[in-house]
Structure 1
Amino acid sequence: MGESLMPIFIILIILSFALYVFYKVREVRTKELFYKRWTGSKAKMALGTFIASFGLNELTSVEGRLQLWIAIVFLVYGVVLLFFGWKMYKHYLTLAKKESQSTNQNMNG
């Protein structure tokens, strides 16, 4: 069973790492404060997905106790990053929208 899931986890690992790099670059280039933090929260969620996927991938081929514990630590840490990234995302989303609206009003008016 574990062998059939490995390609899914590998694709998820690659995709989440690519999204992490994309959002980190976008965060660095952004000038607006709340938009920057909102983009950073998306990068944190991508990093959490990357680490959790890596842990899940390791769980599919556990050979010893040490590998099991390392996989569990990766999985838990990834889920924690994903959870807190999601909380940050929800918090900064409204602030980024208000910031965007005020920036647009200043440019138009």
Structure 2
Amino acid sequence: MLNYIFVFLIVLSFAAYFYYKTKQFRSTLPIRKKWYKAKAGVALGMFIIAFGLNTCIIYPTLVGFAIATVFIVVGFMEAYSNFKRARHEGRFVQEEYELNK
């Protein structure tokens, strides 16, 4: 049952990554592009974390746990750094929109 939850999270985070990457390419304003890029990075980090947790369930061996740990740590670093960047740039998105009306 837990495996299905992680597979659902993997699919959901990949869909969010694809959505924000598409929004990034279609945006014309530079800050908004960076904001969407950071949001896509958060979704990618969540994808990597969910993949690592799913690896723990599928391969409950020492090697599986070691690989899962690497995925979880890398995913957490990716999600956290992009979350901070998205929060910082999110403050300027509305201001940039108002200036470029």
| TM-score, structure 1 as length reference | 0.87
Which runs of 5 or more residues in structure 2 are unaligned? none
Does structure 1 residue 55 correspond to structure 2 residue 48?
no
Percent of aligned positions that are identical: 35
The correspondence for 2:90, drawn from 70, 74, 93, is 93
**1:38-80 deviations in whole A, cap 9, x for unaligned?**
0111100000000000001111233322221111111111111
Aligned equivalent of 1:107:
none
What amino acid is the match of 2:45? G
Does structure 1 residue 31 correspond to structure 2 residue 37?
no
Tell me how far apart the structure 1 counterparts of residues 98 and 70 of structure 2 sit (CA, whole Å).
41
Larger Rg: 1
| TM-score, structure 2 as length reference | 0.94
Tell me how far apart the structure 2 counterparts of residues 90 and 60 of structure 1 sit (CA, whole Å).
33
What amino acid is the match of 2:20? Y
Tell me how far apart the structure 1 counterparts of residues 48 and 59 of structure 2 sit (CA, whole Å).
17
Extract structure 1 runs of 4+ deviating beyond 6 A.
none
Q: How many correspondences in the alignment?
A: 101
Aligned equivalent of 1:19:
16
Aligned equivalent of 2:42:
45
Which runs of 5 or more residues in structure 1 are unaligned? 105-109
- Greater mean deviation of Cα atoms: 39-48 or 21-30: 21-30
Kindly state the Cα deviation for residue 26 of structure 1 after the two structures are TM-superposed.
Answer: 1.1
Map 1:66-77; keep pairs closer than 5 Å.
66-77=63-74
What amino acid is the match of 1:27? Q
What amino acid is the match of 1:96? V
